[in-house]
């Protein structure tokens, strides 16, 4: 198994480190030609969704990645990655890849709760650590999207077929379980 980590901006190295600990090989996707090599899954990291969306378009990777996901490539989006995949962003006119039937709110927790830590249940795993950094939450799920976790009264993880999203950053805690869950989606 080989996982591509979108490495345009944000917290991509931390994902690579978690994958290495799981014994999964990964590589960085930085430019269009990186999409030509064979890979079995894609991680879109946290960072700034607007910046990543702009770079995806400028680097001519946007349509290719959207097509791959629509054709079933397993994808895992964390935080900004969730926003890139959401079909609707309530407080932003723009959407990006818009492949997943979720609505999201950007920077949803206000200034005081901009960053916080909690431990909550994740369906199929159990209690896990969750670190939120100027995070979105999922305000609604549509179609066959399944809710996987809630925190602070909001949906913070969901899955629709080949697409997995978390509003929190599992790559920033010493817990491999969400990445392991993603690798099982690939197998």
Whichever of 94 and 127 has its CB closer to ligand GLN, that residue is 94
Query: Strands 154-160 and 2-6, how do they pair?
Result: unpaired
133: phi then psi, degrees, rounded to nearest 5? -130, 110
* CB of 36 vs ligand GLN, minimal distance in Å: 27
Query: Does residue 53 belong to the site contacting ligand GLN (CB under 6 A)?
Result: no
Q: What's the CA gap between 3 and 97, in Å, rounded?
A: 19
**DSSP secondary structure of 94-138:** --SS--EEEEEETTTTTTTTSEEEEEEEETTTEEEEEEEES--EE
Query: Does residue 54 belong to the site contacting ligand GLN (CB under 6 A)?
Result: no
The residues that are catalytic are 79, 169, 171
Tokens 């099982």: give the residue. 184
Q: Residue 183, CB half-sphere, CA atoms under 13 Å: how many? A: 18
Whichever of 106 and 159 has its CB closer to ligand GLN, that residue is 106
* CB of 49 vs ligand GLN, minimal distance in Å: 3
Query: Does residue 106 belong to the site contacting ligand GLN (CB under 6 A)?
Result: yes
Whichever of 54 and 161 has its CB closer to ligand GLN, that residue is 54
The H or E element spanning position 182 is helix 177-186
Q: What's the CA gap between 121 and 129, in Å, rounded?
A: 9
Query: Does residue 133 belong to the site contacting ligand GLN (CB under 6 A)?
Result: yes
Whichever of 83 and 128 has its CB closer to ligand GLN, that residue is 83
Q: Which of 4, 46, 74, 77 binds ligand GLN (CB under 6 A)?
A: 46
- Residues forming beta bridges with residue 42, ordered by sequence position: 4, 75
Query: Does residue 88 belong to the site contacting ligand GLN (CB under 6 A)?
Result: no
* CB of 61 vs ligand GLN, minimal distance in Å: 18
Query: Does residue 163 belong to the site contacting ligand GLN (CB under 6 A)?
Result: no
Query: Does residue 48 belong to the site contacting ligand GLN (CB under 6 A)?
Result: yes
Give the binding site for ligand GLN (CB under 6 A): 46-49, 79-80, 83, 106-107, 133-135
């Amino acid at each position: 198994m080989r996982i591509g980590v979108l490495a345009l901006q944000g917290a991509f190295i931390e994902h690579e480190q978690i994958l290495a600990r799981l014994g999964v090989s990964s590589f960085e996707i930085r430019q269009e030609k990186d999409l030509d090599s064979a890979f079995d899954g894609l991680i879109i990291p946290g960072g700034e969704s607007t910046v990543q969306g702009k770079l995806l378009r400028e680097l001519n990777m946007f349509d290719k990645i959207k097509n791959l996901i629509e054709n079933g490539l397993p994808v895992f989006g964390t935080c900004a990655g969730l926003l890139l995949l959401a079909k609707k962003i309530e407080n932003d006119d723009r959407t990006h890849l818009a492949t997943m039937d979720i609505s999201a709110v950007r920077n949803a927790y206000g200034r005081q709760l901009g960053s916080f830590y909690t431990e909550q249940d994740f369906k199929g795993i159990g209690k896990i650590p969750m670190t939120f950094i100027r995070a979105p939450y999922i305000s609604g799920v549509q179609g066959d999207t399944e809710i996987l976790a809630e925190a602070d009264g909001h949906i913070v993880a969901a899955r629709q077929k080949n697409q997995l999203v978390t509003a929190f950053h599992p790559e920033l805690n010493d817990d491999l379980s969400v990445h392991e869950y993603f690798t099982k989606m690939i197998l």
